Amino acid sequence: MNSAATATIPTATIPSVTTQGENSIGVEAIFQLLSQELQQSTKASAQNCHDVATRITTEVYRICSESKRIQASGAIENSAMTLAKHRLQQCLRYYQLGSNRGRVELHSTLSAIIYRYINPPQRQLSYQGRLTIIEDFLQGFYLEALNAFRRENQLGPTYRPQTLLELAEYMAFTERYGKRRIPLPGRQQQLIILRAQTFSQQQPPETNVDIEQAAEGSSNEADGSWEEPAVQQLRSTMATQAAPEPEEDTLRSVVVTELMDYLEQRQQSDCADYFSLRLQDLSTQEIEAVLGLTPRQRDYLQQRFKYHLIRFALLHRWELVHEWLEASLHTNLGLTPQQWQTYTSQLEDKQRSLLELKQQGQPDEKIAKTLGMSTAQLQKRWFKILEQAWEIRNSLVSGSGASTHE
């Protein structure tokens, strides 16, 4: 084992915590666990793993020392170990995703949380317009998170993530930073939502942005504002993000934002809230607490959301969703050859004809005229066709009957 893995962590960097009992683990043991796991799971240098493990251990014990709940529990060391492992897994997850995919995942997660809160007053934003505002907001939020990371880890004002492991550490911190609960009168709210609401309220009625000028720099050499560090960093970030994103991540982001937009258009803001919380992998109890619902009310909301989700996936934007699921018409709706043969043999004659015309790329108006039905009837039949294929795919994944999960 590399000597850095067993190096003694400087006592000045870790708060002193004293616990008693047979489950006492100790600061050193947690640090050693983190350092060894990082070295085994990444290609980072021993020193890099040492530095990241030190920062995670420091943060964990700071939280444990400041949390009244943890202090009152009498199980400080156990809580510290659980928290340290959670931080470690978050960091490794972003590390495994890599620089580009990790950035896309973080951006998608935060965008989904704030989507419905980015709504400047007296402005009717289009779908694309809202995405542009979200991009503007998140650029500033990433800088805020970086400054918070420097401050909380006592790093210098010029610190920047240099290695993939440090970038993963920063992205994991940024996600947690955005999800922090801020106590408000009678409730709690996530920090990033509060920031997004403030940002929206401060937007002017109309904002014109010259993207080419922002990317290339001002044509006026006397304009000193382009030399400011924040502007230079924004230009650098824009250049970095110019690289094409993985197609599956781009499609996922589009599906999420369009579903949010779909729910908003149908005045289903509570369903949008529920969806946003589901994207954060919150438990049922946590969702009920955040939305202030009883279990019965939450169950009703969940069923209503599921109804709209199915309508969106099988009718409103079925082509987009099926492309994302790699279950388009070109791939026989994601079915195996044997399943496809069984599936088509079970269809009614008009359903089979409709499916064949769809595969030929015929427009709905022409298909409806060919089959002698109205557009509404065509959509109803098509919904049923996709639903049957959906059930077969779910049955394939679950190994049993059709899935009832969202």
Task: Judge whether residue 126 has pLDDT over 90.
Answer: no
pLDDT of 52 higher than 90: yes
Give the model's confidence band at 44: pLDDT under 50 very low, under 70 low, under 90 confident, else very high.
Answer: very high
**What contacts 112, CB < 8 A, 6 or more positions away?**
256, 257, 260, 275, 276, 279
Range among 3-7, 28-32, 42-46 rated most confident:
42-46
Residue 104 tokens read as 């896309």
Q: What are phi and psi of 227, to 5 degrees?
A: -90, -5
What are the tens digits of pLDDT across the range 148-190? Answer: 999 999 999 899 999 999 999 999 999 999 998 888 777 788 8
- Specify the pLDDT at position 14: 44
| pLDDT at 146 exceeding the cut of 80 | yes
Does pLDDT of 336 surpass 70?
yes
Residue-level pLDDT at 221: 41
Mean pLDDT of all residues in 229-257: 56
What per-residue confidence (pLDDT) applies to 220? 46
Q: Is the Cβ–Cβ distance between 61 and 17 less than 8 Å? A: yes
Q: How far apart are CA 352 and CA 87, in angstroms?
A: 52
Look at residue 38 and tell me whether its pLDDT is greater than 90: yes
CA distance 261 to 302: 18
Percent of the chain with pLDDT over 70: 74
Query: pLDDT-based confidence at 395, cuts 50/70/90?
Result: low
Distances (CA, A) of 393 to 10, 387, 398: 55, 10, 9
Rounded to an integer, the average pLDDT of 321-348 is: 75
Report the pLDDT value the prediction gives residue 230, as an integer from 0 to 100. 47
pLDDT band at 366 (very low <50, low <70, confident <90, very high): confident
The Cα 140–Cα 138 span in angstroms is 5
DSSP SS3 for 230: helix
Cα–Cα distance measured from residue 38 to residue 85, given in angstroms and rounded to the nearest whole number: 11
DSSP structure string for 270-339: HHHHHHHHHHTT--HHHHHHHHT--HHHHHHHHHHHHHHHHHIIIIITHHHHHHHTT--GGGGGG--HHH
- pLDDT exceeds 70 at position 17: no
Mean pLDDT in the chain? 75
Give the mean model confidence (pLDDT) for residues 331-346.
Answer: 77
Mean pLDDT calculated for residue range 362-366: 82
Confidence band, pLDDT 50/70/90 cuts, at residue 123: low
